[in-house]
Structure 1
Amino acid sequence: MIITVTLNAAIDKSLSVPNFRLGRRHRTVEQRTAAGGKGVNIARALKTLGQPVIATGFAGGPTGTRIVDQLTEESILNDFVRIREESRTNTAVYDPTNGQTTEINERGPAVSAQEIGLFRDKLLYLARGADMVVIAGSLPRGVDTDIYAGLIRELKKAGVLTIIDTDGEPLRHAVRAEPDVISPNVLEAEELVGHEFNDDEDRLIAVGEMVEQGAHEAVMTLEDGCVACMRVDGTRARFRVSIAPRESVAGVGAGDAFLAGYVAARYAGKSTADCLAFGVACGAESTEHLGAGIVEPRAVERLLDEVEVQQLSAPTADVS
């Protein structure tokens, strides 16, 4: 069983608006509303890919009820802690004329210490039957930035594989707790290691730096694939995985689809290279859909033929 954790779950509105301009009145040509937040998006994709998954986190007020109801309608198993304050609503506006997306994400509810305690107990109970826990997304108000680190340490004691996808201080603390896998994008990775990247060599060095900070394995998602520092046969190996550029409907949630694909393949016992390739194919295929966490498994399988996987030697600047 795979568990996804979304502490700042949301209702996500995805709108397609041609020639979008600030300060103007517009009408949508396509729209989609769904339960969201990174962990929820990952759970949706995992369900579609045929893997057993339970989504958990916080859900509050009428919006929280709507989140739970929508997940249930999608046949996604879920077990959320109900909180007093209202869950958030996020809006993404995609302009098909130029391919640009504008995102407006609410901060989310404040969460009390008692509610946090209830969630921790629930997660550790659910984890008794889990092989992997994917912790993803931002934190609601009132939650300490080291909460993910604490959860990772407790889950590791229970023998559960931990995967983290967040940013900023929560990611910095989480890495020190030695999660099994971290999966930042380029901007999140630059913030974590403290410098910008100019090319693939810089990125390959950076994933090694992230491992040196504490993560067992690190994957940095890119627009055309990923770079990774993974353990293969007891040693560290670098990977550059890429797919040719393609026209997309919307890119929101591509990183979530990537991680869902990677997790699905890893849960199925695939090799490291195959897991990364499947993740890249899922991320690319998801850009064909308006809304996050949506993948078409047959289309993913077709895209696998377009994914190039390179296993590389460590860059000379890497001291691992």
Structure 2
Amino acid sequence: MILSVTPNPMLDKTLWLSQLQFGKTHRAHRLEEITGGKGINVSRALRNLGENTLATGFIGGYTGAVIRRLLDAEKIPHDFVIPHDFVEIAATTRIGFTLMETDSTRHTAVFEPGHQLQAQEVAKLVECVSERLPQCRALALCGSMPCEGFDHLYVDLIRAARQANVPVFLDSYHAPLRHGLAAGPNFLKPNRDEVLNTFGFDVRRPADLQQALAQLVQAGAQYIFITDGERPVHVFANDRQYVATPPAIDYVNALGSGDTMVAAFLYGWLRNMPEEELIRFALAAGAVNAAHDMPGYANLAEIKALAPRVHLQRA
């Protein structure tokens, strides 16, 4: 089983309209409501790939109840339902709004602030994850903290996983990433903005890229992916450095592409895919997701068909 942790999930409402005009009243012609959050997307993609997974994190309030209902009801290929075991909290889970413009590929997202946490709620999540670790083949720690004061959460979870010999994929930024690095995660996937805002390095500048990699490599990670939208991905793998260029696709919605990449990487890594094949497989999965509406979309046949078109070059 692969366990995903989403400390800051949300109820994600996507509205479609022809064109967004500021200062105007709009009537959407389509609405979709799904469970959002990086770890949830990872579990959704893993289930699409047929992998056993469990999603956990914090949810609360009326939106938390909706998230539970949606997770219970969500049907994905092979009629799987995403299993989950979230910690109930006193606060209400946030809502996110994404406005998709059908006249273009532009979209605008607005997310509510994260909820407040209490110390006993954080301790409960650490306890729940620790109890699950003996059944886990990997742990994915995904996204931001909902509030300040609990940046140590990922540190505690990584240390618990290392004691249980469970590999950890950390996909976060700011203080949770800085603190989490000290605990020694196995895999990392920050994007360009996250590296810039966390460490002050712009990876589009070669000198900055090497300084950023040096800081991340110090954590002892076996694989590091630094993504930059549709631009090439910088990959550090077992002391080797690559530049991987995703294939061109018919773009629909990139939301969740990085999370799908994380899921595909873990899927392939647990199956002992060779290094270059694994990198291509992960990047192809992110591209396949961007060609569909649903975040966390992953289809094994589509990924395998697209993977040879990922251009991989040693740096």
- The TM-score, its normalising length taken from structure 2, stands at 0.91
Partner of 1:17: 17
Task: Note the alpha carbon deviations across 1:50-69, whole angstroms, 9 max, x for none.
Answer: 11100011111121122122
Partners of 1:240 and 1:185 lie apart in 2 by 14
Name the Cα RMSD after superposition.
1.9
Tell me which amino acid in the other structure corresponds to 1:77.
P
Contact 1:178/1:216, CA 8 A, preserved across alignment: no
1:191: how far off?
Answer: 2.9
Partner of 1:250: 253
Contact 1:193/1:210, CA 8 A, preserved across alignment: no
Partner of 1:37: 37
The answer to whether residue 155 in structure 2 is matched with residue 149 in structure 1 is: yes
Alignment gaps of 5+ in structure 1 = 313-320
* Structure 1 residues 194 and 108, CA gap change in structure 2 (3 angstroms): closer
Contact 1:13/1:33, CA 8 A, preserved across alignment: yes
Partners of 2:206 and 2:305 lie apart in 1 by 26
Partner of 1:317: none
Partner of 1:301: 304
Contact 2:63/2:93, CA 8 A, preserved across alignment: yes
Partner of 1:99: 105
Contact 2:7/2:57, CA 8 A, preserved across alignment: yes
Contact 2:155/2:179, CA 8 A, preserved across alignment: yes
Partners of 1:289 and 1:23 lie apart in 2 by 30
Alignment gaps of 5+ in structure 2 = 75-80
* Structure 1 residues 295 and 207, CA gap change in structure 2 (3 angstroms): same
- Which runs of 4 or more aligned residues in structure 1 lie more than 4 Å from their structure 2 counterparts after TM superposition? 199-202
Q: Secondary structure at the match of 1:78?
A: coil
Partners of 2:207 and 2:298 lie apart in 1 by 31
Partner of 1:73: 73
* Structure 1 residues 51 and 23, CA gap change in structure 2 (3 angstroms): same
Contact 2:138/2:166, CA 8 A, preserved across alignment: yes
- The TM-score, its normalising length taken from structure 1, stands at 0.90
**Equivalent residue in structure 1 for 2:237, among 223, 230, 234:** 230
* Structure 1 residues 198 and 108, CA gap change in structure 2 (3 angstroms): closer
Partner of 1:184: 190
Partners of 1:62 and 1:190 lie apart in 2 by 36
> Identity rate of aligned residues, in percent?
27
Partner of 1:51: 51
Partner of 1:280: 283
Select between 222-231 and 151-160 the one with higher mean Cα deviation.
222-231
Q: Secondary structure at the match of 1:40?
A: helix
The answer to whether residue 117 in structure 2 is matched with residue 111 in structure 1 is: yes
What count of residue pairs does the alignment treat as equivalent?
308
Partners of 1:112 and 1:198 lie apart in 2 by 39
Between Structure 1 and Structure 2, the one with more strand by share is 1
Contact 2:46/2:53, CA 8 A, preserved across alignment: yes
1:155-170 matches, within 5 Å, as 155-170=161-176
